[in-house]
Amino acid sequence: MNKFYDAIIIGGGPAGSTMASKLAEKGQHVLVLEKAKFPREHVGESLLPFLYHLFEELGVLDEMKARFSRKPGVTFSNIDGTEASHWCFKHVIKDESGLSFHVRRAEFDDMLLQNSRKKGAEVMEEVSVQKVDLDIDPNQATVYAENAQGEQLQFTGRMVVDASGQNTILATQMKTKKPFESLTPRVAYSSHWENAKLTPELAAGNIKIVHLEGEKMGWFWMIPLIDRLSVGVALNMSYANQQRRILKETTTDWQAKLYEQELQESLVAQEVLAGATRMGPVMANGDFSYYSSTKWGTNFVIVGDASGFLDPIFSSGIYLGMKSSLLVAEGITDMLGGNGTATIETAYSDIQGAYKLVEKLINTFYEPGSIKWDQAGSAFDLSYKKFETAYSILHLILAGDFFKNHAKYFKAIDILRTPQKIEQYKHLIGHDEPTMEQRVCIA
């Protein structure tokens, strides 16, 4: 079987479905090849406010409001809960988009993929891509795949979009997958819990990030979903490997043991999970640091986690992937229409800037000399009002303002490294001074 398409998209996750929906809206003949059967579980449940208007553009905002819990901000805490800072999106986003979402990824990803079908994209699930031939013709590509029944399939299109996530189909094939050299490799273990005892910030909808220092060089998250709490721990890969060797001597399920061991060592986790029950197995996700050095050509583009994956400490991944797909979809439309590559070149320039900005922000979380995020409220001798004004730009970055303003924000992140410069950055944002709540963010 050999069909011809304008665009063949590998992967039906948020980046792939966003690309499919936008290209189908523009009249392109689109095929999505997804290896799994949706719905399926996935990590990455906390979303950024800058996705709000993107959901509106895709036509799914009302469904988002009806189905998922809301997220007013972020709380950073130390391991025993004695220090915490609250970052409330409404202080810098004055419209309703300042209230973001937490999602069950099984439901969220399926909703987006069904939306692509509604807009005219053809979707084939349980189809695993084996190889992509980009060399026969610079203006088209052939995709070789296999379905759940073991049948060999072949598809040809003018453009292949790799949105395969951490499978990195094209980057692996082209040998262009590289590490982010400034970031330490990490691995995450996560699961869902029921009957957790929510602290005020979790009950209000905040994601809670707990800093793990020393050899662990990591963090754990708590995300309040409608009927459960998502809890995960991210650890330095070398520490996790050391623990694996020790735990494998006494248990076959060393990942679950490591996960529970780390949670038991935190007073914050003990308080929340006392009496709670884990609802399923522990999921493992690793390799928080890579990118493809080649992003696009005349017959292919790479978007989302297939293009690059950063430590998810700031919940940036879904927004980076979906926004990148929207920008690149415009470039693909111009290329297929014979209007050159200027649009796609601009798109990838903005995308590169966004990833560099998030990379720099991530480094401030781990660098020993930087201000600790959980101590931000007390680290500066400033009133809350001055503190909030000076940190407005960091609120906007945490909310997802990565793309067009990245050049301006590179300098602002240095606030966390050099507190003396805090007054210099007030002029970079032009909103009214808000009064900072001296308690958790509320909807």
DSSP of 59-116: T-HHHHHHHSEEE-EEEEE-TTSS-EEEEEGGGT--SGGGSEEE--HHHHHHHHHHHH
Reported as a single tens digit per residue, the pLDDT across 119-131 is: 999 999 999 999 9
Q: Is 394 exposed, middle or buried (0-12, 13-18, 19+ CB in 10 A)?
A: buried
User: For residue 179, what are the CA distances in angstroms to 182, 238, 292, 304, 315?
Assistant: 9, 16, 9, 16, 20
Q: Does domain 186-286 have CATH number 3.65.10.10?
A: no
Reported as a single tens digit per residue, the pLDDT across 313-367 is: 999 999 999 999 999 999 999 999 999 999 999 999 999 999 999 998 888 888 7
Residues carrying CATH 3.50.50.60, the chain: 2-72+97-178+289-356
Contact 409, 401 (CB under 8 A): yes
Q: pLDDT at residue 433 above 90? A: no
Reported as a single tens digit per residue, the pLDDT across 138-181 is: 999 999 999 999 999 999 999 999 999 999 999 999 999 999 99
Question: How is residue 326 written in tokens?
Answer: 């929207």
pLDDT for 393: 67
Lowest mean pLDDT among 47-51, 62-66, 276-280, 407-411: 407-411
Q: Does domain 2-72+97-178+289-356 have CATH number 3.50.50.60?
A: yes
DSSP letter (8 states) at residue 40: -
Reported as a single tens digit per residue, the pLDDT across 75-92 is: 999 998 998 888 889 888
369 pLDDT band (50/70/90 cuts)?
A: low
Residues carrying CATH 3.30.9.100, the chain: 186-286
d(CA 376, CA 378): 6
